[in-house]
Each structure stands twice: as structure tokens, then as C-alpha cells.
Amino acid sequence: MENLLSSANPADPSTASSRRMVALAAEINPGERRVVQVDGREIGIFNLEGTFYALLNYCPHRGGPLCHGRVRPLVTAQSIGDLTHEREGEILKCPWHQWEFDIKTGRALYDPRLRVKAYRVAQEGDEVVIYV
């Protein structure tokens, strides 16, 4: 299971130096996350239904610890009072000022031009690895 967020190819020896093992896959169950240190950066690793995603633990709005925020669904409305929940567990809300980001892409919900840094992450055997 792999989340391709960059053009790096894990089979390419030129990218091997950027590969970091950050956890065992069994340590991060679906719906859970873990914040890890990688080369001096805090990075949140999220397991969404068995697929791993990684975001820098830094909100681009005011520098808050984004990956410690609440994970929730996307709330939409067709009309006033007609709320629906979609994409359960895929939206991350910054604990400081409530800005919301798509865990899969790093894009802000309210301004898709704004994004948090997303990293390429993969499950390789029993390991979760990130490419930085």
C-alpha cells in the first residue's frame, strides 16, 4: 500500500538515501496516527483504512502543531440545515485556530492554494517508510 505524493521512485538507488523507516505498520492501526522525528522535522504518519499518509507537523497558518489536531469527516451542505458527512477521518483540524487540511493531499479546505507539506510514505513489508 503506497501513497505517491512525489515523483521519487523507491526502486531508484538515487532516492535510497532519503528513505527512513518510521514505524512498524502494526503500530499504527487504521484511524490512528503517530508523530515522529525525521531529520529534525516532526512528521505525522496517518493510517487511513490501511493506506499511510504523512504531513509535516506545522500548520502553515500560524505554525501550530497540526498533526495533534482533531481528525474528522468533511462536512458538506446542499442547503441550510441539510448537513452530510463525507470522507470520514480524512480531514485534520489544527488545534490552534481550527484551519482544516485534507490528510491525503495536505491542501487547506478553505483555500486550496494553501497546503501543508505532504511526504511520500509507503508500507514495505512490516515497515512504514517515509521519503524525505
Q: What is the mean pLDDT of the chain?
A: 84
Q: Which pLDDT belongs to residue 61?
A: 87
In a 13 Å sphere around the CA of 23, the CA atoms on its Cβ side amount to: 21
Neighbours of 82 (CB within 10 A): 8
Query: Span 9-35, mean pLDDT?
Result: 80
Task: Please say if the pLDDT value at position 76 is more than 60.
Answer: no
Strand-pairing partners, residue 5, are none
Task: Please say if the pLDDT value at position 4 is more than 50.
Answer: no
| Class (C level, CATH) for 2-131 | mainly beta
DSSP three-state, residue 129: strand
Query: Span 62-67, mean pLDDT?
Result: 94
Q: How far apart are CA 119 and CA 46, in angstroms?
A: 11
Higher per-residue confidence, 60 vs 85: 60
Q: What is the share, in percent, of the chain residues with pLDDT greater than 70? A: 77
Q: How far apart are CA 105 and CA 6, in angstroms?
A: 11
